[in-house]
Amino acid sequence: MKSAWVDRDAQTAVDRYAAAGVARDGFAQDLALRVYTTRLLGQDPKLVLHGGGNTSVKTRVIDLNGDETDVLCVKGSGWDMGTIEPPGLPAVRLDALKRLRERAALTDEDMVRLQRANLIDPAAPNPSVETLLHAFLPHKFVDHTHSTAVLSLTDQPDGEALCADVYGTRMGYLPYIMPGFALAKAAAEAFARDPKVEGLILHRHGIFTFGADARESYERMIEHVTLAEQRLARGRKAVFASAQMPQHVASRTQVAPIIRGACSLRDEKNEGAWKRFIVEFRTNDTILNFVNGAELARYSQAGVVTPDHTIRTKNWPLIVAAPEAGKVGDFKAAVAAAVESFVGKYRAYFAANNARVGGIKKSLDPMPRVVLVPGLGLYGLGRSLKDARVAADLAEAAIETITDAEATGRYQALDDANLFDMEYWSLEQAKLGATAERPLAGQIVAITGAGGTIGAATAKAFAAGGAEVALLDLDEDAAREKAKAIGGSAIGIGCDVTDAGSVCAAFDQVVQAFGGVDIVVSNAGAAWQGRIGEVDEAVLRESFELNFYGHQRVAQAATKIMLAQGTGGCLLFNVSKQAVNPGPNFGPYGLPKAATLLLVRQYALDYGAEGIRANAVNADRIRSGLLNDAFIAERSKARGLSEKDYMSGNLLQREVTAEDVAQAFLAQALALKTTADVTTVDGGNIAAALR
């Protein structure tokens, strides 16, 4: 591992934060360099991942009373080291923290209250759960990471001896102690026994280094991690002899929906509802070597590489059978059995450990967050794509750690009791936040015609509802532009709904991105005009290809995925007012739309038993590609109306917008006991009203 410190960059950080008025004099430099080296550490995935690790600096600030006081600026809850800014290092009165060392005991709740009570800024985030460890050490700068190389040494039966061989007296050593007051006191005592040490090795947890300045503490971290890497490179043995694999494995687009469906939880209180997960796929030679190993059930089930991971990955991954090509049905049955076994194991683990602590805990959901698929790779699961990526990242880091441990010895994690205490620790759970989930969390939505006005508004509405959205459009650039405007994990995909191959390829991309599909809004369409007795047959066929068969191709592709998942789904169609109230010379458009209305009802009839709902929206006079400004001007003039009166020519005398249509689709998606419905969104048109 190489130092990434650059004098010029360090000075730039100091100048930037001073110019921004973050602070003044020495404090500005201390905080700027603390941010600079914290980012260097946080941007290296071999050191820190997703909110893990922490850093601090001891300095002086002017408090709200105008008095200068000694403080500890330490990483705050919710901040990521790779992107941290000064507000992510809340200042806490140092003397008050140091006095706590005199206590014999301190509850977690009192520790948090005391830390908050001594914040310089009362609105600052909660200081790290390891704040006291930083405070009890005398050094100006303290750094803490979960280095994969160091964990590969500590996570072995003889981990302490291995580390002593690597570091000698340059480092202090601590057995595993859960973070908090007890660990802080033990760390201070370890340093007191030998004040010459440059850091501390916390077994099965991570590494601390410290120094008089930011560069010294940072480069000590780099040096000591490098020493661990060098030790791991010596005397390696071959690892993970491969188990027998099928000659050909099923594709990830076949596998992901099966895994996703099997890992979904039925909502017992809300019939028809499911707690679903988004999945993120990873594969490479290292991952395949790991998941294909004959002893996968031993080394993958031993426990997490550091307890900090358990709230995001569970304590062990789910292992499923290798998916043999051509035998997807067998694979689906095997996955269901594997998930049932995993859930049973987790519930037994919870029951035993909850009894140990007096039965005071409430079980988290028992579903896995990492799935290992021999022959293919791994999947991370989460309630959002972001969470799924976190789980997958941590799983990849764990594979690297376990691989190195097995190559130099034998991997050994903490026991279930310690892992349970961390998983169900209130301060650890607080890292996940208490924000209420949005109604479509964990669901995947694909919208066709999403480069247009109605499709884009619909995608935006579903994303706001918490769904992962895929915007499909013939104009791929338009789809991507609209997805970029939505932000987050929204994606744009090119899709020609008149081409079955294009539709299948687009849905494959949706599955590859998110793991499946739960809701489809079939919205792509275009209008052809002409008197029905005179229109050319080619025009009528062209309209049917888009305005009827396009809907059928989309619904058929989506239904195949929904059936593989086994958790129901929702098919939504834009059928238009023309389906029930045709206008003169609009037969080439209205006829396929009327057929699509019957298609909606047929899907509701044929797939209701599988929990797949089919509904439609009947909209009229929406400003869009079909009803553009020129067309509105032409029709208004023909009727002797102003454009405003033309667009609000309905019973309510209100113009209906694309956003109104989007909300109708959203309402249908959330109506779990409604199918074969047609919702009219036109401001009131009796001629177009259904029964």
Q: Could you read off the pLDDT of 375-409 as tens digits, one per residue? A: 999 999 999 999 999 999 999 999 999 999 999 99
648, 569, 657: which is closest to 607 by C-alpha?
569
pLDDT at 291: 98
Of 579 and 488, more confident:
488
Q: Which CATH architecture has domain 7-232?
A: 3-Layer(aba) Sandwich (3.40)
Rounded mean pLDDT, 331-351: 98
Expressed in percent and rounded to 5, the helix, strand and coil fractions of the chain are: 50, 15, 35
Q: How far apart are the first and last CA of the chain?
A: 72
Whether residue 28 has pLDDT greater than 90: no
pLDDT at 153: 97
pLDDT at 637: 86
pLDDT at 431: 64
User: Identity (one letter) of the amino acid at 416?
Assistant: D
Q: Return the minimum-mean-pLDDT range out of 317-326, 434-443, 550-559.
A: 434-443
pLDDT at 285: 96
Cα dihedral 314/315/318/319 (nearest 10): 160
Whether residue 17 has pLDDT greater than 60: yes
DSSP SS3 for 506:
helix
With cut-offs at 50, 70 and 90, classify the pLDDT of residue 166. very high
Rounded mean pLDDT, 562-576: 97
Does residue 59 contact residue 69 with C-beta atoms inside 8 Å?
A: no
Name the range with the highest mean pLDDT among 80-84, 269-273, 424-428, 556-560: 556-560
User: Identity (one letter) of the amino acid at 348?
Assistant: A
Share of the chain above pLDDT 90, in %: 87
Whether residue 666 has pLDDT greater than 80: yes
Question: Helices marked H in 108-158 — which ranges?
Answer: 108-117, 131-136, 148-154
Q: Which two tokens stand for residue 664?
A: 């109708």
497, 498, 527: which is closest to 620 by C-alpha?
527
pLDDT at 276: 98
Per-residue model confidence as pLDDT tens digits over 625-663: 778 888 888 878 878 899 999 899 889 999 999 999 999
pLDDT at 50: 84
Residue 549 CB partners (closer than 8 Å, separation 6+) = 498
Per-residue model confidence as pLDDT tens digits over 224-235: 999 999 999 998
Rounded mean pLDDT, 81-95: 95
DSSP state of 531: -
Share of the chain above pLDDT 70, in %: 98
Instruction: Give the containing element (helix H, strand E) for 339.
Output: helix 328-356
With cut-offs at 50, 70 and 90, classify the pLDDT of residue 21. low
pLDDT at 434: 60
Nearest-5° angle of CA 498, CA 501, CA 506? 90
pLDDT at 634: 82
Strands 265-266 and 206-211: unpaired
User: Identity (one letter) of the amino acid at 583?
Assistant: G
Whether 36 sits among the annotated catalytic residues: the reply is no
pLDDT at 629: 86
Q: Return the minimum-mean-pLDDT range out of 22-36, 67-81, 442-456, 612-626.
A: 22-36
Q: Return the minimum-mean-pLDDT range out of 7-11, 177-181, 416-420, 582-586.
A: 582-586
379, 523, 517, 511: which is closest to 443 by C-alpha?
517
Q: Is the dihedral of CA 387, 389, 393, 398 positive or negative?
A: positive
pLDDT at 691: 63
Per-residue model confidence as pLDDT tens digits over 252-271: 999 999 999 999 999 989 99
CATH code: domain 252-431 is: 3.40.225
Query: What does the alpha-carbon distance between residue 353 and residue 161 come to, in Å, rounded to a whole number?
Result: 30
Question: How far is C-alpha 166 from the geometric centre of its chain's CA atoms?
Answer: 37
Query: What does the alpha-carbon distance between residue 189 and residue 485 come to, in Å, rounded to a whole number?
Result: 54
pLDDT at 686: 87
The Cα-based distances of 497 to 507, 540, 552, 561 in angstroms read 11, 17, 9, 17
Nearest-5° angle of CA 149, CA 46, CA 75? 110
Strands 141-145 and 54-62: antiparallel
Cα dihedral 602/608/610/615 (nearest 10): 70
Q: Beta partners for 446?
A: 470, 520
pLDDT at 689: 81
Query: What does the alpha-carbon distance between residue 677 and residue 618 come to, in Å, rounded to a whole number?
Result: 10
Residue 653 CB partners (closer than 8 Å, separation 6+) = 683
152, 197, 141, 196: which is closest to 174 by C-alpha?
197
Residue 404 CB partners (closer than 8 Å, separation 6+) = 148, 149, 152, 232
Does residue 623 contact residue 562 with C-beta atoms inside 8 Å?
A: no
Rounded mean pLDDT, 314-337: 97
Looking at 3.40.50.720, 3.90.1490.10, 3.30.70.360, 3.40.50.10360, the CATH number of the domain 444-620+658-682 comes to 3.40.50.720
Nearest-5° angle of CA 153, CA 157, CA 163? 35
Q: Is the dihedral of CA 21, 27, 29, 33 positive or negative?
A: negative
Catalytic residue among 36, 167, 218, 589: 589
Kindly provide the residue ranges of all beta strands, DSSP E only, lying in 107-195, ordered along the sequence.
141-145, 171-174
Does residue 440 contact residue 462 with C-beta atoms inside 8 Å?
A: yes
Whether residue 188 has pLDDT greater than 80: yes
Q: How many CB atoms lie within 10 A of CB 238?
A: 7
What angle in degrees, to the nearest 10, is found between the helix axes of 252-262 and 500-514? 50
DSSP state of 166: H
Main-chain dihedrals φ then ψ at residue 92, nearest 5 degrees = -120, 140
Residue 70 CB partners (closer than 8 Å, separation 6+) = 58, 59, 60, 93, 94, 95
pLDDT at 436: 82
The Cα-based distances of 219 to 57, 62, 83, 134, 227 in angstroms read 15, 30, 19, 18, 12
The Cα-based distances of 175 to 179, 311, 607 in angstroms read 12, 22, 58
How high is the mean pLDDT of the chain?
94
Does residue 277 contact residue 264 with C-beta atoms inside 8 Å?
A: yes
Whether residue 25 has pLDDT greater than 80: no
What angle in degrees, to the nearest 10, is found between the helix axes of 159-167 and 214-232? 120
